[in-house]
């Protein structure tokens, strides 16, 4: 390799790492588009397919712009607004984010990435790579909680809600847990977003469903999905795309990335089979269902997210089994009690993302194996001092990590809930309401977009726009 005659890289760049990071980011992007867009499109009623897909595409686009124009630097900048000083509660409130500013300049795009948290591990790729990897995470989060509010949220309200939420909830949680903020510095960890993304999406979705109010009673009572193969397409892309989601989070194409990928798949397989088996022995019908299996799959993916590279293979399987079991019971029993019985979380995001993410986040405190090393590794280049690992209760870490995970969970739940509520009130004010009127809801896509998911050509007659040529052959 040394004989390579022309080296077009700056000295800090490693092409293998850059490739992995860009590939992983692309996989995560695919999880949103077309992944979540069609997974949700398949799950909603036929009359909501177009609306659901368009909210997914616009949500993704809006976060991209917001992120690059200001929010990336809020979460991953080098310059905490409070200056980075202070301790305890001061530290916490003074430094909830870094200074917002765009990364659209030539220098910003091309220089080696660094964030407030990267004091000891320099990443070997430019800011463009890092920001793009981070933005696909930021963008999938609103798409996840979209599942809670479909079937009644006003389209314009969505277009305003997403940028505000990304700025005032996501960027802050990202800074606190990943960007070097208080929670991170205290020791709470979140490998790839069990809290920042999934728990937060579950809570935001639940609160939003509550604030916006339920779907039409008729829609709720007839809420059959419209297309299961579409769900399969989305689900398959989610599963394999998650290799990038979790595999990309060491930010090195090293040993831990590989372990994270393997563990993600183990947890997911275990969770899918767990839900299936409980369905077969424990549900009223005692039948295996496809959508049940997919629910289980999602639980596994979500629950392993906070710990993917910090548990060993056995831990990963346990995470899958435990999370799937807990969410199965939550899914089947919680809707009967308050507040769940009062809130119409249409696709159940609070369960498959909220509770699964919470379960996974707490399990880090129990199952993390300190021999799983994120950066430093045994061997010739062993970097003991800079090694990054986590010890759970079962591996001699005591209750410390569990406590940190618990505190972080409380923060994410409370902060997300409160801020989501406030933001929605603001959006409601701006948009004069958060819901489409009932007569629009009764119709769905056709009323909002004048499009339907599966148009029937037989009954359509073109009336305007491009004139039909007179001389067309018939």
Binding interface with another protein (CB under 8 A): 43, 218, 222-225, 283-285, 287, 289, 291-292, 295, 331-332, 348, 442, 446, 450-452, 455, 458-466
Contact status: 155 vs its own copies (CB under 8 A)? yes
CB of 159 to its own copies, least distance (A): 8
The three-state (H, E, C) secondary structure of 7-32, written as one string: CCCCCCCCHHHHHHHHHHHHHHHHHH
Other CB atoms within 10 Å distance of the CB of residue 419 = 21
Give whichever of 284 and 432 is closer to its own copies, judged by the CB atom.
Answer: 284
CA-CA distances (angstroms) from residue 34 to 39, 200, 233, 256, 451? 8, 22, 9, 28, 19
Contact status: 467 vs its own copies (CB under 8 A)? yes
Site map (CB under 8 A) of its own copies, residues 81-120, x = contact: ---------------------xxxxxxxxx----------
Q: Which of 95, 97, 124, 299 binds its own copies (CB under 8 A)?
A: 124
Give whichever of 24 and 408 is closer to its own copies, judged by the CB atom.
Answer: 24
Q: Pick what 446 binds: another protein, its own copies, none; C-beta below 5 to 8 Å, kind-dependent.
A: another protein
| Residue position matching structure tokens 């409070």 | 82
CB of 269 to another protein, least distance (A): 20
Asked if residue 361 lies in contact with residue 194, where contact means CB atoms within 8 angstroms, the answer is yes
Q: How far apart are CA 180 and CA 186, in angstroms?
A: 10
How remote is the C-alpha of 319 from its chain's centroid?
A: 18
Tell me the chain's radius of gyration from C-alpha atoms. Answer: 23
- Interacting positions 334-353 with its own copies (CB under 8 A): 335-336, 341-342, 344
Give whichever of 159 and 446 is closer to another protein, judged by the CB atom.
Answer: 446
**Residue whose C-alpha is closest to residue 295's, from 311, 278, 312:** 278
Q: Pick what 162 binds: another protein, its own copies, none; C-beta below 5 to 8 Å, kind-dependent.
A: none
**Residue whose C-alpha is closest to residue 366's, from 296, 316, 408, 413:** 316
- Interacting positions 54-83 with its own copies (CB under 8 A): 54, 57-58, 60-62, 64-65, 68
Q: Tell me the site size for its own copies, rule CB under 8 A.
A: 176
Site map (CB under 8 A) of its own copies, residues 233-272, x = contact: xxxxx-xx--xx--x----xxxxxxxx-xxx-xx-xxx-x
Contact status: 433 vs its own copies (CB under 8 A)? no
CB of 44 to another protein, least distance (A): 11
Q: How far apart are CA 9 and CA 7, in angstroms?
A: 6
- Nearest 10 degrees: Cα torsion 154, 158, 164, 165: 110
């Amino acid at each position: 390799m040394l004989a390579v005659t022309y080296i077009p890289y700056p000295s800090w760049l490693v092409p293998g790492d850059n490739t992995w990071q860009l590939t992983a980011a692309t996989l995560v992007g695919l999880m949103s588009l077309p992944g979540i867009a069609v997974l949700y499109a398949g799950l909603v009623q036929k009359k909501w397919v177009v609306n659901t897909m368009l909210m997914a595409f616009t949500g993704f686009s809006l976060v991209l712009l917001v992120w690059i124009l200001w929010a990336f630097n809020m979460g991953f900048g080098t310059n905490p607004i409070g200056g980075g000083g202070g301790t305890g509660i001061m530290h916490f409130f003074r430094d909830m984010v870094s200074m917002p500013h765009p990364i659209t300049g030539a220098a910003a795009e091309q220089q080696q990435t660094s964030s407030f948290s990267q004091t000891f591990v320099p990443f070997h790729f430019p800011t463009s790579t890092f920001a793009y990897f981070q933005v696909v995470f930021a963008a999938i989060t609103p798409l996840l909680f979209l599942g809670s509010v479909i079937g009644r949220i006003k389209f314009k309200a969505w277009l305003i809600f997403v940028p505000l939420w990304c700025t005032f909830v996501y960027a802050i949680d990202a800074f606190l847990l990943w960007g070097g903020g208080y929670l991170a510095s205290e020791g709470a960890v979140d490998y790839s977003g069990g809290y920042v993304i999934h728990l937060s999406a579950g809570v935001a979705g639940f609160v939003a469903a509550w604030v916006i109010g339920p779907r039409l009673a008729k829609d709720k009572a007839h809420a059959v999905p419209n297309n299961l193969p579409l769900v399969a397409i989305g689900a398959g892309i989610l599963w394999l795309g998650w290799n990038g989601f979790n595999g990309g989070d060491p930010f090195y194409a090293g040993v831990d990335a590989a372990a994270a990928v393997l563990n993600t798949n183990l947890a997911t397989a275990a969770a899918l089979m767990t839900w299936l088996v409980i369905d077969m022995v424990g549900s009223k019908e005692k039948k295996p269902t496809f959508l049940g299996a997919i629910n289980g799959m999602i639980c596994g993916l979500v629950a392993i997210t906070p710990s993917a590279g910090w548990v060993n293979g056995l831990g990963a399987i346990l995470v899958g089994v435990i999370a799937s079991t807990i969410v199965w019971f939550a899914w089947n029993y919680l809707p009967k009690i308050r507040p769940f019985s009062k809130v119409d979380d249409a696709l159940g995001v609070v369960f498959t993302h909220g509770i699964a993410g919470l379960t996974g986040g707490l399990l880090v405190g129990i199952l993390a194996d300190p021999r799983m090393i994120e950066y430093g590794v045994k061997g010739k280049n062993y970097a003991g001092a800079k090694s990054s690992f986590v010890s759970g209760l079962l591996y001699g870490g005591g209750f410390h990590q569990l406590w940190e995970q618990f505190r972080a969970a409380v923060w994410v739940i409370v902060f997300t809930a409160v801020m989501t509520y406030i933001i929605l009130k603001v959006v409601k004010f701006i948009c004069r309401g958060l819901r489409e009127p009932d007569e629009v809801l009764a119709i769905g896509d056709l009323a909002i977009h004048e499009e339907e998911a599966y148009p029937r050509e037989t009954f359509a007659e073109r009336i305007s726009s491009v004139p039909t040529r007179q001389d067309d052959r018939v």
